[in-house]
């Protein structure tokens, strides 16, 4: 049980630190944070942000970092 608790505490601290860094970054330089989060990993994928055509139907989806 000690090994599991040690693993959880180590990685939860990294998660909290990462969230705080992202919060500070988003408030200091919102434009660069937005460009990083909206970086397109896969174009025309099954999940992700929907892009619509003129008729209002989904033309394609793009997988970006914020969906992960």
pLDDT for the residue 3: 79
Q: Is the dihedral of CA 50, 60, 43, 68 positive or negative?
A: positive
Between residues 67 and 47, the one the model is more confident about: 47
- Where are the domains positioned within the chain? 1-28, 38-68
* Residue 61: DSSP 8-state: E
Helical segments of the chain, H only: 2-28, 30-37
Reported pTM: 0.64
> Which pLDDT value is given to residue 6?
83
Cα torsion 65, 46, 60, 64 to 10°: value is 0
């Amino acid at each position: 049980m000690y090994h599991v608790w040690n693993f959880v505490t180590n990685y939860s601290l990294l998660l909290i630190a990462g969230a705080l860094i992202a919060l500070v970054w988003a408030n200091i330089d919102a434009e660069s944070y937005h460009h990083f989060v909206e970086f397109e990993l896969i174009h025309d994928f099954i999940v992700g942000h929907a892009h619509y055509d003129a008729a209002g139907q989904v033309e394609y989806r793009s997988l970006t970092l914020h969906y992960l």
